[in-house]
Structure 1
């Protein structure tokens, strides 16, 4: 039997003929069960219902929306950056230190001057790209463990931030243009949340429809398969590290504007929570496809949960305990779901297998998405 194969990303490359290739039948192709985006969407709906109807927390009042929407927006951006790293099978523990460094760069480089704001933001984002590149090189090229690498670089970044900041700052506030922008609202929705949703939408479009995004997604999901298909998998995974760090930088900039007086604790709350948000979005810690929409819903769930607990008078320790519980349950659900497969009806009834499929691998990839 002869099989026809094409480039898995482009779908229009030269065809190669492989004799006696083992082509799986349709009954042999079994679709893995995943924790779907609908699951975290329903979880958000249930949380809103419980918070509003049972716990009497008004989530839609002006005060609640003005408090919730900016923190949700920041968390969506930072979780989306972490999602790119988790998509490669790694975890970035240097994110809190990176956020703090960005805040200090914007604070010190601009020195409260609106005219120097764009230069300070550009410098901060370039530094984020450099951090992502260094982490990516150490993990993807030298094949060091991502946890060890990012823990070490996080400590280095924290030390460099303290040295760069110095003992005393002449200015303690970011430029007014940044703080005014970060505190704006459209209706009752913070502009930070709108920026986060726009970034998530652009990322989703890029990963699904643009060639470079599809190559990055393919290289993140299966490195060896991507290399065998002729893709520069290592380079694509480096791009994933840099993209994730860049998006984290965007979140850090708007966070600094929203806080207005960023200090050395700016990034401290963002170590565990973004990882939990990504896991709630259905990602596996071992790596996989980035799902921006599901990641955003995971961030929304966590911020709603934290807000409800605080309104009801619980301490921050209770919120952290809930996040740890959610992380454990989420990881268990994702890991368990991968063990199940959909059983074809024909297989259950003892039907005969259908003819071998010769569909283009690129079309198979799009259908599975």
Structure 2
């Protein structure tokens, strides 16, 4: 005997004693599901279209597009590193301070010890990796909450930074070769864009095509289940912290190379923008999951907004307002839409 029922979620068909099968979803459900996945992209498109109309001679130009990508590069590198920690279910509040210290370490070694650029770069990365290792051990082995632990380590990093630099910018006498790391171009594109693209591709492969990346996603999804599955949860989380610190170091040294000097707080501001980009990007094409493509979209959205604020002649404090609103609207809209669609 067959009977049919209907519900707000769609038409249900009962066949004999079988369980109900959903035949179709309501149009509003599909609409909200689309908003949850593509709403953040619509926001980016809306900003682009609006600025193209308001400032066609300055915003919608090839040179400005290259400028946006170039400005996005260092923020994207740090945010990608943060994504590894977030995917693993942890937070890292020390990445901005690590970036600042890395720039100071590299420039100090070149200015005072006469180290070559590659060697100074390598030492800065090693120092950052050590910071990431300490972060991971404090959080996983000692058991300190990730927010508290990384904030404490970050504060220590700030102290070390000021001890090395004395709070003053560290400058080079002949910075041309060092400056060329970020101001140099190949095929018309600044080097940082290539570095950003290479790191983004490699990071995507690591997270989606390697056992390590799958383990990070499993640990971030459910640590207890990952342990029962035989994964080395502690090691995976520590590696995520190390990767976050190393990428922060790369961005920090490149930031110093833009001017040939390193400020003691040069990379601190990247902390907020990285979190805004990663959380905003978690709503891109996925249901609240952190991923590399989403982080890149989030960074570009933030930088496009900053670029629009500058071209419109607004005060710089609007950048903070934009970041905060973007984070709340992007994440809030995605969460609300997912609730409505389910």
Q: Normalising by the residue count of structure 2, what TM-score does the alignment of the two structures yield? A: 0.82
User: C-alpha distance in 1, partners of 2:235/2:44?
Assistant: 37
Structure 2 vs 1, CA of residues 116 and 261 (structure 1 numbering), >3 Å: closer, same or farther? Answer: same
Deviation digits for residues 298-317 of structure 1 (CA, Å, limit 9, x no counterpart): 00000010011011111111
Aligned residue for 1:311?
311
2:283–2:330 contact (8 Å) kept in structure 1: no
Aligned residue for 1:206?
206
User: C-alpha distance in 2, partners of 1:133/1:315?
Assistant: 40
1:44–1:301 contact (8 Å) kept in structure 2: yes
Aligned residue for 1:6?
none
1:133–1:241 contact (8 Å) kept in structure 2: yes
The answer for unaligned runs of 5 or more in structure 1 is: 1-24, 343-369
Q: CA offset at residue 126 of structure 1?
A: 0.8
Q: How does 1:287-306 map to 2 (within 5 A)?
A: 289-306=289-306
- Name the stretch that deviates more: 135-144 or 304-313: 135-144
Q: CA offset at residue 50 of structure 1?
A: 0.9
RMSD: 3.1
Aligned residue for 2:224?
224
- Name the stretch that deviates more: 202-211 or 176-185: 176-185
1:94–1:154 contact (8 Å) kept in structure 2: yes
Structure 2 vs 1, CA of residues 227 and 171 (structure 1 numbering), >3 Å: closer, same or farther? Answer: same
Deviation digits for residues 160-193 of structure 1 (CA, Å, limit 9, x no counterpart): 1111224778844684323112112344432202
Structure 2 SS opposite 1:206: helix
Q: How does 1:60-209 map to 2 (within 5 A)?
A: 60-61=60-61, 63-65=63-65, 67-111=67-111, 116-166=116-166, 171-172=171-172, 175-209=175-209
Q: CA offset at residue 75 of structure 1?
A: 1.0
Structure 2 vs 1, CA of residues 203 and 35 (structure 1 numbering), >3 Å: closer, same or farther? Answer: farther
Q: CA offset at residue 264 of structure 1?
A: 1.3
- Name the stretch that deviates more: 269-278 or 43-52: 43-52
User: C-alpha distance in 2, partners of 1:159/1:335?
Assistant: 39
- What is the number of equivalent residue pairs in this alignment? 315
User: C-alpha distance in 2, partners of 1:225/1:34?
Assistant: 31
Instruction: Give the structure with the higher percent helix.
Output: 2
Structure 2 vs 1, CA of residues 314 and 102 (structure 1 numbering), >3 Å: closer, same or farther? Answer: same
Aligned residue for 2:335?
335
The answer for unaligned runs of 5 or more in structure 2 is: 1-19, 23-31
